[in-house]
Each structure stands twice: as structure tokens, then as C-alpha cells.
Chain A
């Protein structure tokens, strides 16, 4: 659960030239009334000269023989550990990654390191996409695809350089990989900062309230576009490597079976599962059980009473080479 005393962290990703530095400048000069510390990567596209910006290396701490799910960012542990010892603590931390970085270790740092877990919570992952040029490298760059897969919010930047039809097609493609992400079209990374700083993407309480229709989209093979309310047929010709799988099943789960299934799933396939979120109805439990995960890390919490709502299990996986049938079958086997 999110502690009110912990400091939110927003992770900013995006391929080279997508506009991360422009967004950082927008945030640092914005009238949001917050004191935001920015951890900028050492090889930033343009160095930002600002009192609240710290340069850091993308230093990966590998543990357990380099298992991707056990990697964390050592530079963040050191620098943020120091910053948060100050009496005048920061209201928010923004971590920029390099264009070629995998967001996984950054997110995992705030779940795996005891000191970081105590002081911070991940507000969300924001991915900038260069609307004009993304198609030139998305097929060749697994980093670009994974950054999209991790995103709670996707800023389709430089939208003025692309026609409406192409933008719509691009949004479809992004959503085919990540059914959970909110997409905003931006020019010069200009965006209401609330959409970037108040995401709640990793807040368990917020997990199902971000977009109550996202599972409908994922499950029923059509897109829901946040801008124009158009619906589109899901396009399966792209991004077969990274996809979203949504599951909606009425009824109650067997708690021990569910635990066993999830544990085995992340143990075997955790490296390929970037994000997962959901809500479960567990037999004998009058309350909703909300969960989310990153790779092999799973967090669960009480989501409050079901009330008048139907006891319906809803979950989404975003990852590489997901086996939709196996996931459906595995979960359905947990239903009482």
C-alpha cells in the first residue's frame, strides 16, 4: 500500500530524441508548487543546468547471477538515499533513463531495496514516443518496445509532425502492446503535469480505477482511444512479441491455488512479464484482493468490500511472448 509519508517517484523513459529533456524542463519550470528532484542520466541528450538536477550513471546492480528480475539501480540507491536524509525533503522524484535503458531495474529498485521501499513509492512510468520517428526503430529496438510496454502513461510527442490517420494507427500499435497505458498526444512535450506527476500507476488502490475499460479493450480485441472515443479493431499484425493479455472471469478463486499459480507463473515466465495488474475475488474473502507486479515481484493488498459489484476477477499481463491460452487456462483452473 502507498504510505502517505513516502515520496512518489515518476520514471521517465523514451527512445533517443523523443523529448525527455524537453519534458524535464517543462516540469522543472512548471507552476506545480512541488519541489521535484530530478535524477538525470549521465549521458543526457542535453544536460540540464538546474539546482534540483543530479547526474547519475545507469548503474545496474546484478544479483542472483544476473537474473533480470533481481537487478536494481545502485546509483539510485546511493543518491536518493542521500537526498531523502535531508530535513527539507522533496515532494517528488523524477528519474530519467537513457534512451536505451530498460525501465525494469529502475522500477524494481523501489520494490527490492529495503531503504528505497521504506522511503519511496513508484507513482508510474511515463514513456515519451517520437511520433514522427518511432516507426523507424520500433521494429529493431527491443528497448523502445519495452519502454512502451512498461508505460503507465505514453506521451505521443511531436504529434504536430504526423497526420491524424498516422497518429491513430500509431496509438493502435502502442495499445496492442500495452493495453493499460494512457496515451496523450503532445507537442513539445507540453502536457498537464498532473497527467505525469499524479499517475498512481503502481498504487494498488488505484490499480483498477485508472481506466475501468482497459480490460474490455484487452479482452474484446478492440481499442479504446482516450482522445476521440473511437473504437478500432485490434490489430494483430504488429508487436506479436510484446502484447497484453486481459482476463475477465466471474466467480471466486481458490486462494491457495491462485497463490500457487501466480508463484509458478512468475518463477517460470517472470523475465518476460513486464507488468501485471488485477483484482481477484477470493473464496471466503468478502473484500477485493488487488495485485500488481513487475517481472517476478508481486504485491497484493486488500481492495475493500465488493459491495454491490459482481464478484468478477479482472487481470492484465503485459509482456513478451505471452501465451494467452495458457494464461487463461491457468487462471480459470483457480476458479472454484
Chain B
């Protein structure tokens, strides 16, 4: 296996996120400042409106045509396609750095300060949660139930049903979680934490797990599309946990994938496989067959920290975005 470097686009600023659009025909990237950009992977690009003092987030709709950006101006901009104008929605006063589309693509959830705000596809507010005690740090939809959300806040995770007056479940561990995801089978809610740790919440069993031993706060987590494997950053090693069985990772030994010389910053599993792409502060883009070997099958050194990675929806191809503002396409040649 090898990585073949393809076209590169320079957004000129540290990238927050880069994702594929329109079935992989376009790419969209959001830098920390300046204009987000849509790129066709060749010579055509289009600059989008920025969010004042800083951009905060990018969310791509499951249909992969519709996407939104958010940022410091408290607004989101909804685009119905790579070439369409934006519909601007002022959500409120505050920095928007988290937005996620629901699995069925009908709703958009946004973290605005201490509130969770849910909008429809035209930007109308469907529901605004009561204020949490602390900021909504991150949010994730339940992949098997499109009206449920997990929120990282208040020293743990809260699980909401849209329209509820209070969370239907609370997972309070007294720490501070930075990122949250919900496994595709709906079983696990997983957080990466400010204290070097990962929490897993087995939703059906109402049972929490706490995994420690990381070197730094955990900024990257990825779960395989079959929900069987959880890959985590938090060190130069990519730590992969087995989430199968009655108790999941409890009392199991993880696989630790090697190849980075500095912290792992970005992770994504390829849908339907054990191929795992990893980006690091060392500038390395690595591809693992995570079930086969702890060594990367393919590697490439970029000119900045690799802060965002994404698999093409169909092809064995990845996009890597860097702290120097470059997004580059790589073919994974088997």
C-alpha cells in the first residue's frame, strides 16, 4: 500500500476542517480565519463568506451536498450545494464552533454558549435547550434515533431528546470533556477529555467506563462504522480499543499503532473497513490496516501539522488538511 500525493490547495490559514462534498466531486475547507473555500480538486475554487474574528466549524450534510459554516459572529451560513449562495442565520451572540447534521439530514444542531440549538434545513429554530451549567463543548447525534443528541458539558455528557425540558440521561464524571461522538450502533457515547482520558458510556447498560493513561488531552477519536473499534489520540500512539462484547473495552488490552513522532491530532475510519487514517503534529499522514498491523501501511510527510483528515465517500482516497493551510488529496494505492 502507498499514498500517492495528488493536487494541493492552499487556504493560507490553519485549517479547522476539510470534508468531501457532492459524492466526492468537491471539497470544502474551513480555515481559522479568512474565507472558507470550496474546491473541485483541480483548478476551480470558490471563496465563501467568513465569520468575522474567526471561523469555528464546518458541518457537511449526510447527502454531502448541503453544508454549513459557523464562527465568532454567532452566525451559520447554510449552502445547499457547492455553487449556491449562502443562507445566513444569526443564531445568537457567541462563538459557534460546533455544528452537526442529524443522521437523516433533516436537522442541524449547533452549540451556542450554554445552549444547544436545533434548526431545520432552512435555518428555522426548532428547539433551544435550557441553559447548561457550562458551555456546550461538543455534540453528537444518536445515529439510530434522529431526535436524540449527546452533549459534552457540565463535567460530563448529557443526553437529550429534542423538545425535552431536561436531559433523559446524564453522565456526570466531574471532569471536562472536549469532544464527543456516538457509535454508529447507538450503544456508546464516547468523549475525549481535558484531563488525559477517554470516557465511554454504554447507553443501554447505563454503565460508564473511564480510560486513563494518555499523555495529553484527547483531541481525536474515531469509531469504526461497525462500532467494533474505537481509535483514540492523546499521544503519538494511536490507541485502538475493542468495543465488542458485553463490557466493551473493560479489562481489555488496546492495540497501539505506531508511526507518529508527535501527538495524533486527527483520525477517521474508512466506512466498512479497518482502514484508519491518522494525522499527526509531526506532519505525518498515516494509513493503518488497524486489525492487521500496528505499523502504518502507508505514510506521507506534509509541511505542517496534519489537523484534519477525511476519507472520500467512495474511492480509496483521503484529504489531509494542515496547520499551514494546505489541503491535499492522496490516493491510497492498495
A75 to B97: give the CA distance in the assembly, Å: 11
Query: What are the residues of chain B within 8 A of A47 when measuring CB–CB?
Result: 93
Q: In the complex, how many angstroms separate the beta carbon of A54 from the nearest chain B beta carbon?
A: 5
| Given known contacts A62-B175, A66-B174, A57 and B135 CB-to-CB distance under 8 angstroms | yes
Across the A-B interface, the 8 shortest Cβ-Cβ residue pairs: A61-B176, A85-B14, A59-B135, A85-B32, A86-B33, A59-B134, A57-B135, A55-B94
CB neighbors of B among A72-88 (8 A): 72, 74-75, 77-79, 82-83, 85-88
Q: How far is the CB of B54 from chain A (nearest CB, A)?
A: 5
- The reply to whether B93 and A75 form a contact with Cβ atoms under 8 Å apart is no
CB of A37 within 8 Å of the partner chain: yes
CB–CB A79/B14 < 8 A:
no
Using an 8 Å CB-CB cutoff, how does the interface string of B201-216 with A read, 1 for contact, 0 for none?
0000000000000001
Contact check, A82 vs B97: say whether CB atoms are below 8 A apart: yes
Partner of B97, one of A61, A62, A72, A78: A78
Interface string of B185-199 (1 = CB under 8 A from A): 000000000110000
CB distance from B170 to the nearest CB of A (A): 16
Among A53, A60, A77, A86, contact of B13 (Cβ-Cβ < 8 Å): A86
Say if the beta carbon of B236 comes within 8 Å of chain A: no
Measured between C-beta atoms, what is the minimum distance from A78 to chain B in Å?
6
Given A55-B94, A63-B176, A82-B54, check contact A75 B135 (CB 8 Å).
yes
Q: Pick 13 A–B contacts, CB within 8 A, sort by A.
A: A47-B93, A51-B53, A53-B53, A54-B54, A55-B94, A57-B113, A63-B195, A74-B137, A78-B97, A78-B135, A79-B97, A82-B16, A85-B32
Across the interface, name the chain A residue whose C-beta is closest to B263.
Answer: A114
Chain A nearest CB from B208 CB (Å) reads 16
Query: Interface digits, B296-334 against A, CB 8 Å rule (1 contact, 0 not)?
Result: 000000000000000000000000000100000000000
B-side contacts of A51, CB under 8 Å: 52-53
What is the CB-to-nearest-CB distance from B124 to chain A, in angstroms, rounded to a whole number?
23
B33:A54 contact, CB within 8 angstroms: no
A60-B134, A74-B135 known; A54 and B72 CB under 8 Å?
yes
Asked, given contacts A74-B137, A83-B54, A85-B14, whether A61 binds B194 with beta carbons under 8 Å apart, the answer is yes
A-B contact count (CB 8 A): 83
**In the assembly, what is the distance between CA of A66 and CA of B33, in Å?**
35
Asked if B95 and A56 sit within 8 Å, CB to CB, the answer is: yes
What is the total number of residues of chain A having a CB less than 8 Å from a CB of chain B? Answer: 31
Say whether A135 faces chain B, with CB atoms less than 8 Å apart: no
B292 CB to closest chain A CB (Å) equals 33
Whether, in the assembled complex, A52 has its beta carbon less than 8 Å from a beta carbon of chain B, the answer is yes
Using A57-B114, A86-B14 as known contacts, say yes or no to A65 and B194 having CB atoms under 8 A apart. no
A85 adjacent to B53 (CB under 8 Å): no
The smallest C-beta distance from A118 to any residue of chain B, in angstroms, reads 12
B167 at interface, CB cutoff 8 A? no
- Confirm or deny: A42 has a beta carbon within 8 angstroms of a beta carbon on chain B: yes
Residues A87 and B12 in contact, CB atoms below 8 Å apart: yes
B155 beta carbon closer than 8 Å to chain A: yes
Chain A positions within 8 Å of B323 at CB level:
85
Taking a contact as CB atoms under 8 Å apart, the answer to whether B113 and A42 are in contact is yes
B44-85 interface mask toward A, CB cutoff 8 Å, 1 = contact, 0 = none?
000000001110100000000000000010100000000000
Given contacts A63-B176, A74-B134, whether A86 and B72 have CB atoms under 8 Å apart is no
- Residues of B25-52 contacting chain A, CB below 8 A: 32-33, 52
- The answer to whether A86 and B135 have CB atoms under 8 Å apart is no
Return A296 CB to nearest CB of chain B, in Å: 16
Whether B33 contacts A78 by the Cβ 8 Å rule is no
CB neighbours of B94 from chain A (8 A): 42, 55-57
Task: Specify which chain B residues have a CB less than 8 angstroms from the CB of A61 in the assembled complex.
Answer: 175-176, 194
* Closest-CB distance, B10 to chain A (whole angstroms): 12
**CB nearest to A71 among chain B residues:** B176
- Which of B74, B134, B195 interacts with A57 by CB under 8 Å? B134
Residues of B contacting A54 with CB < 8 Å?
Answer: 53-54, 72, 95
CB-based contact A55/B53 at 8 Å? no
Asked if A37 and B53 make an inter-chain contact with CB atoms under 8 angstroms apart, the answer reads yes
Does the CB pair B176–A55 fall under 8 Å? no
A residues near B137, Cβ cutoff 8 Å: 74, 78
User: Min CB distance, A35 to chain B, in Å?
Assistant: 11
A221-233 CB contact bits vs B (8 Å, 1 = yes)?
0000000000000
Least CB distance, B127 to chain A, in whole angstroms:
20
A57, B137: Cα distance in complex, Å = 11
Q: In the assembled complex, how far is the CB of residue B172 from the closest CB belonging to chain A, in whole angstroms?
A: 11
Nearest CB to that of A75 among chain B residues? B135
A52 to B54, CA, bound (A): 10
A52 to B72, CA, bound (A): 10
**Which residues on B sit within 8 Å (CB–CB) of A65?**
174
Interchain CA distance A62-B32 in the complex, whole Å: 27
Knowing A54-B53, A54-B72 touch, does A74 contact B194 (C-beta < 8 A)?
yes
**Within the assembled complex, what's the spacing in Å between the Cα atoms of A63 and B137?**
16
From A52, A55, A66, A85, give the contact of B95 (CB < 8 A). A55
Whether A114 touches B194, Cβ cut-off 8 Å, given contacts A61-B176, A74-B135, A82-B97, is no
8 Å CB contact of B32 from A55, A72, A82: A82
Task: Give CA–CA (A86, B93) in the complex, Å.
Answer: 22
Q: Which residues of A contact B135 (CB under 8 A)?
A: 57, 59, 74-75, 78
- Asked if B194 contacts A88 (CB within 8 A), the reply is no
Complex CA–CA separation, A37 to B323 (angstroms):
21
Question: Chain A residues with Cβ under 8 A from B216's Cβ?
Answer: 114
Please name the residue on chain A nearest to B307 by beta carbon.
A85
> With a CB–CB cut-off of 8 A, which chain A residues contact B97?
78-79, 82
Output the nearest chain B residue to A66 by Cβ-Cβ distance. Answer: B174
| Contact A86:B113 (CB < 8 A) given known A56-B95, A74-B134 | no
